[in-house]
């Protein structure tokens, strides 16, 4: 039976909200444990559906995985003999499955990973994952929907310059290079906090990586890595989501377990919108204004404004004073959810990778049934529903569950009139 999230607006957020480890880090940390035979443990693991998908993928590769959601911990026992195939059902359910490619190439010297196809936020190329591995001596081909890669005799160090600082390609190439013969230099790499986190774990496992957090990584291959216990970096996108919840609804939140230094551009923009923000180590407080001012935002690779927070800017501008232009530079097709926001009364005009949003007073938005099509858009629709008058019913809850731990419970604990319930069908 389909579930939905029902929010009764207007309903401001007021209270404390927790942040656990980053989805975009933990999935790759789990994949990277494949690099070392033995039991690795990852802590600060969020209780989200994608972790169960990655656990299943690792099990199918031969690992013994124990996921203890209540303890925010996952242990992975990696065998000597690993499988090397990631099937379509899992890759389709979770695109981050592609992140086993680098570890499998390092461990097995071959990998077969189903191609993910497109998703709700656009086509996502793999050309740099492929070209980087080819530079390291791998042969790649596409057969029957799988990307097949092999490197008889193992990968060798190479210099490869990414055409764009792709998060996924940087991670796959960095992990693949850890045990390659010789030195690998990766230029124009991504430097998101999640990449630094993965690089740190690899170092704790014995990898020799220099330049983490900069645009060039130098990796000296080592013969083997050892298992590790590692704490996942805080989820800056969840922290940002809670901050926008306060900004859009004129609420006040204390965000706990976060690393506000990973959000400096975002917090600057929220201050421009009229928020008061008090940052302390490990937590920060956001007080939203009575009515936000519209902001202009361009999404960019880190340290720029994250594309994953773009839908929240649209929601903020929808109720803001004035008009704001949002430019999406990372996933140009990431606008599907704006038609859902228009159902609440938002005024959005799209022009290629730009969106112009003309704000209206929040009481002019009225609740409606809307559909979440991806993780962040779903969360942004719930927040817009908190600002609108009346009931907003958000379907497609499974998308939100992929990336947010107990999203509804946390908001309800912070005073929001929100609940999950079974959708009413036709009778």
**Residues in the annotated binding site for phosphoenolpyruvate:** 23-24
Among 2, 68, 159, 164, binds ligand UD1 (CB under 6 A): 164
Site residues for ligand UD1, window 327-386 (CB under 6 A)?
330-331
Q: How far is CA 139 from CA 97, 207, 384, in A?
A: 20, 24, 48
CA quadruple 31, 35, 37, 41: dihedral, nearest 10: -40
How many residues belong to the chain? 427
Q: Is residue 167 within the footprint of ligand UD1 (CB under 6 A)?
A: yes
Nearer to ligand UD1, 79 or 163 (CB): 163
Nearer to ligand UD1, 168 or 288 (CB): 168
Report yes or no: 283 and 310 within 8 Å, Cβ to Cβ.
no
Rounded to the nearest whole angstrom, what is the least distance from the CB of residue 326 to ligand UD1 in the complex? 15
**Cα-to-chain-centroid distance, residue 48:** 12
The H-or-E segment that residue 394 falls in is strand 390-395
Among 17, 29, 128, 195, binds ligand UD1 (CB under 6 A): 128
Q: In whole angstroms, give the CA distance from residue 367 to residue 20.
A: 30
**Cα-to-chain-centroid distance, residue 47:** 14
Could you tell me which residues are beta bridge partners of residue 147? 113, 142
Nearer to ligand UD1, 128 or 388 (CB): 128
Cis peptide before 172 (omega within 30 of 0): no
Cis peptide before 299 (omega within 30 of 0): no
Among 96, 108, 180, 273, binds ligand UD1 (CB under 6 A): 96
Among 125, 145, 182, 361, binds ligand UD1 (CB under 6 A): 125
The binding track of 40-79 with respect to ligand UD1, each residue x by CB under 6 A or -, is ----------------------------------------
Among 6, 21, 24, 340, binds ligand UD1 (CB under 6 A): 24
Q: In whole angstroms, give the CA distance from residue 299 to residue 240.
A: 14
Among 259, 308, 328, 393, binds ligand UD1 (CB under 6 A): 308
The binding track of 169-188 with respect to ligand UD1, each residue x by CB under 6 A or -, is x-------------------
Phi, then psi, of 75 in degrees rounded to 5? -115, 140
Q: Is residue 104 within the footprint of ligand UD1 (CB under 6 A)?
A: no
Whether residue 50 lies in the annotated active site: no
299: left (phi over 0), alpha (psi -120 to 50) or beta: beta
Rounded to the nearest whole angstrom, what is the least distance from the CB of residue 376 to ligand UD1 in the complex? 8
Helix/strand/coil for 298: strand
Q: Which residues, 6+ apart, have CB-to-CB distance to 424 below 8 Å?
A: none
Q: Is residue 126 within the footprint of ligand UD1 (CB under 6 A)?
A: yes
Site residues for ligand UD1, window 380-409 (CB under 6 A)?
none
- Stretches 57-65, 111-119, 162-170, 271-279: which one binds ligand UD1 (CB under 6 A)? 162-170
Rounded to the nearest whole angstrom, what is the least distance from the CB of residue 233 to ligand UD1 in the complex? 12
**Cα-to-chain-centroid distance, residue 419:** 24
Q: Is residue 168 within the footprint of ligand UD1 (CB under 6 A)?
A: yes
What is the radius of gyration, based on Cα positions, of the chain?
A: 22
The binding track of 231-260 with respect to ligand UD1, each residue x by CB under 6 A or -, is ------------------------------
374: left (phi over 0), alpha (psi -120 to 50) or beta: beta
Angle at 301 between CA 298 and CA 303, to 5 degrees: 90
Report yes or no: 395 and 4 within 8 Å, Cβ to Cβ.
yes
Nearer to ligand UD1, 33 or 166 (CB): 166
Site residues for ligand UD1, window 277-306 (CB under 6 A)?
306
Nearer to ligand UD1, 74 or 190 (CB): 190
60, with CB counted inside 10 A (0-12, 13-18, 19+), is middle
Among 39, 60, 92, 124, binds ligand UD1 (CB under 6 A): 124
Nearer to ligand UD1, 23 or 252 (CB): 23
Which is the catalytic residue, given 77, 87, 119, 358? 119
Among 64, 127, 278, 409, binds ligand UD1 (CB under 6 A): 127
The single-letter DSSP state of residue 232 is P
Nearer to ligand UD1, 165 or 227 (CB): 165
The H-or-E segment that residue 132 falls in is helix 127-135
Report yes or no: 391 and 410 within 8 Å, Cβ to Cβ.
no
Q: Is residue 129 within the footprint of ligand UD1 (CB under 6 A)?
A: yes
Nearer to ligand UD1, 55 or 362 (CB): 55
* Residue numbers annotated as active site: 119
* Residue ranges in contact with ligand UD1 by CB under 6 A: 24, 27, 96, 124-129, 164, 166-169, 190, 306-308, 330-331
């Amino acid at each position: 039976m389909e579930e939905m999230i029902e929010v009764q607006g207007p309903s401001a957020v007021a209270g404390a909200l927790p942040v656990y480890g980053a989805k975009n880090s933990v999935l790759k940390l789990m994949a990277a444990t494949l690099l070392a035979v033995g039991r690795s443990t990852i802590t600060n693991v969020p209780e989200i559906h994608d972790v169960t998908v990655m656990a299943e993928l690792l099990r199918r590769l031969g690992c013994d995985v124990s996921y203890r959601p209540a303890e925010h911990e996952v242990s992975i026992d990696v065998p000597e003999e690993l499988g090397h195939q990631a099937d379509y059902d899992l890759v389709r359910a979770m695109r981050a499955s592609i992140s086993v490619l680098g570890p499998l190439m390092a461990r097995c010297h071959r990998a077969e990973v189903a191609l993910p196809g497109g998703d709700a936020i656009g086509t996502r190329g793999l050309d740099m994952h492929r070209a980087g591995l080819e530079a390291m001596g791998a042969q790649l081909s596409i057969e029957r929907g799988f990307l097949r890669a092999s490197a008889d005799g193992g990968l060798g160090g190479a210099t490869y310059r990414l055409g764009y600082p792709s998060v996924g390609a940087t991670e796959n190439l960095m992990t693949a290079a850890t045990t390659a013969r010789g030195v690998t230099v990766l230029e124009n790499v991504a430097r998101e906090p999640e990449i630094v986190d993965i690089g740190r774990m690899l170092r704790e496992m014995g990898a020799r990586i220099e330049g983490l957090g900069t645009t060039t990584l130098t990796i000296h291959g080592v013969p083997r890595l050892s298992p590790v216990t590692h704490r996942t970096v805080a989820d800056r996108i969840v922290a940002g989501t809670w901050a926008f919840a306060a900004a859009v609804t004129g609420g006040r939140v204390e965000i706990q377990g976060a690393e506000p230094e990973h959000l400096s551009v975002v917090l600057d923009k929220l201050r421009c919108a009229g928020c008061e923000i008090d940052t302390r180590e490990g937590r920060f407080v956001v007080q939203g204004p009575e009515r936000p001012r519209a902001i202009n935002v361009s999404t960019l690779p880190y340290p720029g404004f994250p594309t994953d927070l773009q839908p929240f800017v649209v929601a903020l501008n929808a109720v803001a004073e004035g008009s704001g232009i949002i430019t999406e530079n990372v996933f140009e097709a990431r606008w599907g959810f704006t038609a859902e926001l228009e159902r609440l009364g938002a005024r959005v005009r799209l022009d290629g990778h730009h969106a112009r949003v003309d704000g209206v007073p929040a009481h002019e938005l009225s609740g409606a049934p809307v559909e979440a099509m991806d993780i962040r858009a779903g969360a942004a629709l719930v927040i817009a529903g908190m600002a609108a008058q009346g009931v907003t019913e958000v379907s497609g809850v499974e998308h939100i569950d992929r990336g947010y731990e107990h999203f509804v419970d946390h908001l309800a604990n912070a005073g929001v009139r929100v609940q999950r319930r079974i959708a009413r069908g036709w009778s």
